[in-house]
């Protein structure tokens, strides 16, 4: 689906829906394979406004235009299928692919991916001749 979002909170809410759908599919598949997932699935979120909106089941006038998506996520959180946990945006590993980073942050995130620099003696280093 395509949509124009008016805020980062709205964008995060819209993104949570397909993520939740995939997680539900994986949970159902795991159960069918004899490995039920009983505990709540933790979704990491770096937008605190999104977490507050989802965890508050009251009516939100500012989210009326995305109400179906909001209600879907809110219901799953209330049923304890999911829980949202805050993750500092400075620690988002995906930033290595999407943002310009200082060298210290780059190395820290790269190490979380377990990717290391090729050593000069590495036979797979493309900079060395055959």
Q: What is the pLDDT of residue 103?
A: 86
**82-86 and 41-45 as β-strands: parallel, antiparallel, unpaired?**
parallel
Q: Is the pTM of this model over 0.75?
A: no
Per DSSP, which regions of 15-81 are E strands?
Answer: 41-45
Q: What is the pLDDT of residue 3?
A: 57
Q: What is the pLDDT of residue 56?
A: 82
3-state secondary structure of 85: strand
3-state secondary structure of 98: helix
Specify whether the CB–CB gap between 5 and 14 falls below 8 A.
Answer: yes
Provide block-wise average pLDDT over 10 residues at a time, the chain (130 residues). Answer: 67 89 96 94 90 78 69 91 89 84 86 74 58
3-state secondary structure of 99: coil
Round to whole Å and give the CA distance between 43 and 18: 12
């Amino acid at each position: 689906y395509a949509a124009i979002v008016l805020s980062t909170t709205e964008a995060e809410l819209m993104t949570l829906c397909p993520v939740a759908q995939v997680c539900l599919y994986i949970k159902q598949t795991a159960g069918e394979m004899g490995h039920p997932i009983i505990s709540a699935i933790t979704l990491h979120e770096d937008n605190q406004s999104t977490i507050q909106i989802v965890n508050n089941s009251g009516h939100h006038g500012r989210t009326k235009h995305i109400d179906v998506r909001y209600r879907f996520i809110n219901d799953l959180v209330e049923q304890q299928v999911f829980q949202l946990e805050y993750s500092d945006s400075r620690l988002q590993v995906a930033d290595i692919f999407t943002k310009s980073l200082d060298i210290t942050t780059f190395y820290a995130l790269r190490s979380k991916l377990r990717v290391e620099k090729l050593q000069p003696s590495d036979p797979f280093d493309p900079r060395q001749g055959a």
